[in-house]
Amino acid sequence: MEIFVISLTAFLVSILTFFSGFGLGTILTPVFMLFFPVELAIALTGVVHFFNNVFKVFLVGKNADKTVLLKFGIPAVIMAFVGAWLLFQIPDAKPLFTYEMMDKTFEVYPVKFIISLLLIVFASMDLIPYFSNLKFGREKLPLGGALSGFFGGLSGNQGALRTAFLIKAGLSKEAFIGTAVIVSAIVDFTRLSVYATRITKSGLTDNLTLIICATLSAIIGAYFGNKLLKKVTLNFLQIFVAIMLILISIALGAGFI
């Protein structure tokens, strides 16, 4: 069941990634969390996200702006390592807090609570007009790279912050997409190198079939997304998905999932 649900999600969201403000990791992470522990869900998402980005690099990477790539990408890589390392340092053996509701006891663990807050923040960026009007000069690119890289390593979600900075950097649409794809790929590679140190513990090797199916689904979705890039406007769907993501995040933070 989880293979079908996750693969279908990967396919659909990968299509949307090319022309929406949210990314594959933002939506796929909470879906993985429905079936797996938080750390494993983030690691599994990272693998799918990375190989999908490698495919997209071949499609549109040639359009990247090299100057922006260096200013944004180098801080992103450094802080992605820090965020990924921090993920495994957060103590999660005991619940952060517990509460009772409808004769049931719910336990909320630190990692789930932190990740749920991050997901709510990133999803809200698609709903609040203020973020659409933010303007960042190129001198802010290193800061944007550091922030997006850190949260990419910690939660697997870097798209919202990366977009907020790069979209205002005066790039053409082609250069923006190409630059974003390469940055995303190198951040994924960085955090996966950290996750790999826990590969036996996290159980990545036990879910190779799921990883392969989800990755292939995401790659097929990316192919169609690239074809549809100039034809589709999905503002309503972007808002709908952001709302659903916030609801899932609330459920995660409340200990329901």
Per-residue confidence (pLDDT) for residue 78, from 0 to 100: 93
Contact 204/37 with Cβ under 8 angstroms?
Answer: no
* pLDDT greater than 50 at residue 186: yes
Residue length, the chain?
257
For 120-135, the pLDDT digits (tens) are: 776 676 667 666 566 5
* pLDDT greater than 80 at residue 107: no
- Residue tagged 């997304």 (tokens): 225
* pLDDT greater than 60 at residue 19: no
pLDDT bin (cut points 50, 70, 90) of residue 21 is very low
* pLDDT greater than 80 at residue 101: no
The pLDDT of 74-87, averaged and rounded, is 89
Residue 33 carries which side chain, given as an amino acid letter?
M
Average pLDDT, the chain: 76
Per-residue confidence (pLDDT) for residue 76, from 0 to 100: 92
* pLDDT greater than 60 at residue 236: no
Higher pLDDT, 226 or 149: 149
Beta bridge partners of 99: 106
Per-residue confidence (pLDDT) for residue 162, from 0 to 100: 77
Angle at 18 between CA 9 and CA 251, to 5 degrees: 40
pLDDT bin (cut points 50, 70, 90) of residue 166 is confident
Per-residue confidence (pLDDT) for residue 102, from 0 to 100: 74
Q: What is the pTM (predicted TM-score) of this model? A: 0.69
For 42-68, the pLDDT digits (tens) are: 778 888 888 888 888 888 888 888 888
DSSP 100: E
Beta bridge partners of 97: 108
Torsion angle, CA of 190/193/155/95, rounded to 10 degrees? -150
Higher pLDDT, 111 or 68: 68
Per-residue confidence (pLDDT) for residue 44, from 0 to 100: 82
pLDDT bin (cut points 50, 70, 90) of residue 20 is low
Label residue 137 left, alpha or beta by phi (over 0 means left) and psi (-120 to 50 means alpha). Answer: beta
* pLDDT greater than 80 at residue 80: yes
Per-residue confidence (pLDDT) for residue 147, from 0 to 100: 84
